[in-house]
């Protein structure tokens, strides 16, 4: 299979699992189903997973597609350093979080999906991937390139003004033409 970054898929799966865990938890609590304590845990775990997984990692190769407004989440997740950037930790964390969901039907789907996400993250970790924050690029100052179209800085070399003045006796060789006829100073 091509050069796949497993973490990208694990991230999508984990985010979806978080939402499903959360939804199952809400149904369990709102419907006052038996075992609603597990559902309440599901809500908390679901929210936590969604917050953790929302910011996408920077890809090792290729363009990064950020999720809308993920920058503040990136900053929070980045603050935890190796706890969040190491995928072994994430795989283990998701595996641990999903277990209580298995005790109640409403959250069992969230449990299985999060378990799958944990496995994909394990694969990502084994392949040496890790989470990197996508930071906004600071634009380097645009250097003005050498253009051949620079306007000249100096006037072209000319003989001194004395020599440039039109002489009455030598009108033909003059460098310019007067708009009005000129007669010599009498």
Partner 1 sequence: MGNWIVNHGLDTFILVVWMGINIFLFVHFYLFYDLGPQFFYTRQLLGSALAWARAPAAVLNFNCMLILLPVCRNLLSLIRGSFVCCGRTMRKQLDKNLSFHKLVAYMIALMTAVHTVAHLLNVEWFINSRHGRYGFLAGNLSALEDDEDDHETFLNPVQSDSTTPTIFAFTTIAGLTGVVITLALILIITSSMEVIRRSYFEVFWYTHHLFIVFFAGLVFHGYGRIVRSQVTTDPPHNTTFCKDQPENWGKIPECPIPQFAGGFPQTWMWVIGPMVIYLCERLLRFVRYLQTVRYKKIVMHPSKVLELQLLKSGFKMDVGQYVFLNCPEISELEWHPFTMTSAPEEDFFTVHIRSAGDWTDRLIKMVENLPEGTLICQNGPFGTASEDVFDYEVSMLVGAGIGVTPFASILKSIWYKFKDSNPKLRTRKIYFYWLCRETHAFEWFADLLQVLEKEMEERGMRDFLIYKLYLTGWDHTHAAQVMVNFDKDTDVITGLKQKTHYGRPNWDKEFEQVRHENPSSVVGTFLCGPPALATDLERRCVKYSDVDPRKTKFYFNKENF
Residue ranges binding partner 1 (CB under 8 A):
1-5, 8-9, 12-13, 16-17, 20, 23-24, 27-28, 31, 33-34, 56, 59, 62, 65, 102-106, 108-109, 112-113, 116, 145, 147-149
Q: Smallest distance from the beta carbon of 12 to partner 1, in angstroms?
A: 4
CB nearer to partner 1: give 7 or 77: 7
Smallest separation (angstroms) from partner 1 to the CB of 77: 18
Residue 43: CB minimum distance to partner 1, A: 15
DSSP letters spanning the chain? --S--HHHHHHHHHHHHHHHHHHHHHHHHHTT-TTHHHHHHHHHHHHHHHHHHSSPPPPSSS---PPTT-HHHHHHHHHTTHHHHBHHHHHHHHHHHHGGGGGSHHHHHHHHHHHHHHHHHHHHHHTT-B----PPPPPPPPPPPP-TTPPPSSPPP---HHHHSPPGGG-TT-SS--SS------
Q: Which residue, 58 or 174, is less far from partner 1 as judged by CB?
A: 58
The nearer residue to partner 1, 28 or 93, going by C-beta atoms, is: 28
Least distance (Å) between residue 73 CB and partner 1: 17
| Between 2 and 136, CB nearer to partner 1 | 2
């Amino acid at each position: 299979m091509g050069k796949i970054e497993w973490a990208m898929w694990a991230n999508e799966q984990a985010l979806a699992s978080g939402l499903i865990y959360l939804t199952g938890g809400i149904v369990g609590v709102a419907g006052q189903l038996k075992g609603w304590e597990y559902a309440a845990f599901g809500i908390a775990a679901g929210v936590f997973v969604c917050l953790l997984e929302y910011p996408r990692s920077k890809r090792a190769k290729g363009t990064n597609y950020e999720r809308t407004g993920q920058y503040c989440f990136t900053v929070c997740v980045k603050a935890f350093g190796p706890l969040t950037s190491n995928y072994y930790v994430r795989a283990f964390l998701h595996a641990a979080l999903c277990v209580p969901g298995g005790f109640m039907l409403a959250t069992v789907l969230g449990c299985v999906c999060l378990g799958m996400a944990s496995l994909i993250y394990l694969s990502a970790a084994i392949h040496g991937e890790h989470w990197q924050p996508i930071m906004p690029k600071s634009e380097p100052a645009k250097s003005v390139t050498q253009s051949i179209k620079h306007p000249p800085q100096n006037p072209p070399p000319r003989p001194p003004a004395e020599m440039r003045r039109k002489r009455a006796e030598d009108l033909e060789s003059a460098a310019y033409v007067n708009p009005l006829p000129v007669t010599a100073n009498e």
